[in-house]
């Protein structure tokens, strides 16, 4: 998928563990893991809002568009 989730990068910048983020955001570890590994099909605005609030960042810091190579 051309949308890359850079959650792990932001977590590393803020020196926050997955457990800590899970507690603060209110998502289960399993769901956060799905998001972090890029397996998620969609993200709710409310989830994105909470993550941005906790990590003090913008949505663009977490989500990135990378064009797929043709062929």
Residues found near another protein in the complex (CB under 8 A): 27, 31-32, 34-35, 39-44, 47
Q: Which is nearer to another protein, 34 or 52 (CB)?
A: 34
Output the DSSP codes for 47-71. Answer: HHHHHHHHHT--HHHHEEE-PPPP-
Q: Which is nearer to another protein, 2 or 71 (CB)?
A: 2
Q: Which is nearer to another protein, 30 or 70 (CB)?
A: 30
Query: To the nearest whole angstrom, how small is the minimum distance from the Cβ of residue 38 to another protein?
Result: 11
Instruction: Report the alpha-carbon distance of residue 64 to residue 54 in Å, rounded.
Output: 19
Residue closest to 63 by CA, chosen among 71, 53, 52: 52
């Amino acid at each position: 998928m051309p949308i890359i989730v850079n959650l792990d990068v932001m977590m590393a910048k803020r020196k926050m563990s997955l457990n800590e983020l899970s507690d603060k955001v209110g998502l289960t570890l399993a769901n956060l893991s799905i998001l972090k590994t890029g397996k998620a099909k969609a993200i709710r605005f409310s989830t994105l809002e909470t993550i941005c609030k906790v990590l003090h960042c913008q949505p663009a810091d977490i989500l990135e568009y990378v064009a797929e190579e043709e062929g």
